[in-house]
Amino acid sequence: MSDFNELMDSLSRTMRSEEIRKAVEKPLPRPFRFKWHPVIGCRMKIGAVCNDCVARKESWEEFQNSTAGYWPAKPTEVTFHESQLTEPIRYREPMDIEVAPLSDLFQPDVSDEVRHKIFSVIKNAPQHRFFIQTKNPSYMKHFFKTRAKMDWPLPNVWIGTSVEDQASYNSRVPNLLGTPAHNHFLVFEPVMEAINLDSIQLDTFDRLWPFKQMVQAYESMDEHGQRHWAPLHGEPLMRTPAIKWIYVGGMRGAKAKPPHPDWIQRIVKQAADSLVPVWFAGFGEYAQVEKPELETDETLVFVNKRGEYRGRGVGSATNLLAQTLDGETSALLTRKAVPAKRLLLNGKHYLEKPPVPVKFSASQIQDSVQALAQRLKA
């Protein structure tokens, strides 16, 4: 009987190991079906995150593996690859395409000629949706308003900017929303601190409310030095475009530090309140953990809402001391988790793709009009 029990235990362990192996090897969900590389490489240095850029590390290694290294390109040299220019036209089935994920189309090293070639292909592939992300939205706005020699905006293009902290949010979002386009999106990656998403004070002292789609007019300053703005419920100074999709993620790489879950939850809540779909790509290299292995987990990290880090995962001598300090406000995260678990925020997945416009047939429209006419008569 003991031999039978040992055999069953061995089989059980083998099955659990097989389940874990499958979970580890299973590809993680992604919002885009296709990555298009007409331009490769980036030389921009905008903020501290550029020093630890994912595009120069993990994504670059993934790209080299997928192409067997046959493209002559380097991550810090900006190169245009004409052989890849017409790739999207080859596919008739509609896809969501990420444009130049290993570069930035709106860095100064990319010429206007190259941009016009890329947008010419996009115009001739209307079956696809193209997502273009930049850390330089001021340059992008200037290009489309003064230098673009093409039909713009294009209905199948989504433009977005990535932000990582309050300063980048305040400086980049106004330029993004000031760029003419049919579709705007925001990327919060990597999230480095808590970000107030409500309003942004502009240079004119007017307030931009990105998720209310409006600019609130600055009126005056009283004798006590207090500024006053027009009522929010009144007519705004101007309307702004809607943010139609949000992508959120943490830092990746050997030196990565995880964001506090509350920082992510605040963004997710704002998206839900504004009826904006959100895709949470995970805590980077980490996952939340409820029952940590305090004595043995050398990757464990404690982070509080102020962005203070402790634990062996960030160089502390012990996890036990880290737990006793500020334990009630600190979140616990570990690298010792299967990749799929990193996508969980407080036990939930948020994997909402950009919304697809609903298309109605002529008969459906006619039926709707007739139904509305009947209700009005009643």
Tell me which H or E stretch contains 9. helix 2-25
The pLDDT > 70 percentage for the chain reads 79
Establish if 206 belongs to a structural domain.
Answer: no
Q: How confident is the model at residue 52 (pLDDT cuts 50, 70, 90)?
A: low
Q: For the chain, how many structural domains are there in total?
A: 2
Confidence of residue 360 (pLDDT cuts 50, 70, 90): very low
- On whether both 178 and 257 belong to a single domain, the answer is yes
Rounded Cα distance between 326 and 347, Å, is 23
Amino acid at 309: Y
pLDDT grade for 321, boundaries at 50, 70 and 90: confident
> Which long-range CB contacts under 8 A does 9-14 form with residues at least 24 apart?
none
Q: Is the pLDDT of residue 284 over 70?
A: yes
Shared-domain flag, residues 46 and 114: yes
pLDDT at 29: 87
Residue 307 and residue 341 share a domain: no
pLDDT digits (tens, 9 = 90+) for 77-112: 888 989 899 999 999 999 999 999 989 999 999 999
In a domain, 215, yes or no: no
Within-domain flag for 6? no
Whether pLDDT at 58 is above 60: no
Residue 363 lies in a domain: no
Report CA 338 to chain centroid distance, whole Å.
21
Q: Does the pLDDT value for residue 333 go beyond 60? A: yes
Query: Domain check: are 150 and 258 in the same one?
Result: yes
Question: Do 298 and 183 belong together in one domain?
Answer: no
Q: Are residues 138 and 274 in the same domain?
A: yes
Residues 113 and 187 grouped into a single domain? yes
Do 250 and 308 reside in the same domain of the chain? no
The answer to whether residues 317 and 328 belong to one domain is yes
Q: Which residue has the higher pLDDT, 298 or 64?
A: 298
Q: Is the pLDDT of residue 1 over 70?
A: no
Q: Is residue 15 part of a domain?
A: no
> Quick one: pLDDT band at residue 75, thresholds 50, 70, 90?
low
Contact (CB, 8 A) for 56 and 75: yes
For 293, residues 6+ apart whose C-beta sits below 8 A from its C-beta are 300, 336
The dihedral through the CA atoms of 321, 324, 326, 331 has a sign that is: positive
Q: How confident is the model at residue 24 (pLDDT cuts 50, 70, 90)?
A: very low
Q: Are residues 98 and 109 in the same domain?
A: yes
Confirm whether 223 is domain-assigned.
no
Q: Give pLDDT, residue 326.
A: 64
Residue type (1 letter), 191: V
Taking residues 171-195, report their average pLDDT: 97
- Residue 298 and residue 274 share a domain: no
CA distance 39 to 106: 11
Model pLDDT, residue 21: 46
Q: Residue 62: pLDDT above 70? A: no
The pLDDT score that the predictor gives to residue 329 is: 73
* Cross-strand bridge partners of residue 209: 214
* Position 324 in a domain: yes
3-state helix, strand, coil in the chain (%, to 5): 35, 20, 45
pLDDT at residue 351 greater than cutoff 90: yes
Q: What is the pLDDT of residue 318?
A: 86
Give me the pLDDT at residue 111, please: 96
Tell me the mean pLDDT in the region 264-271. 97
Average pLDDT in the 257-268 region? 96
Q: Write down the pLDDT at residue 332.
A: 94
Which range has the worst mean pLDDT, 35-49, 139-153, 217-231, 330-344? 35-49
- Tell me the mean pLDDT in the region 254-281: 95
Q: Is 304 exposed, middle or buried (0-12, 13-18, 19+ CB in 10 A)?
A: middle
Asked if 133 and 190 sit in the same domain, the reply is yes
Which tokens belong to 76?
A: 């810090």
Can you read off the two tokens belonging to residue 54? 């994912």
- Domain range for 57 is 27-197+242-289+337-356
What's the rounded mean pLDDT across residues 155-167? 97
Residue 49 within a domain: yes
Q: How far apart are CA 198 and CA 191, in angstroms?
A: 17
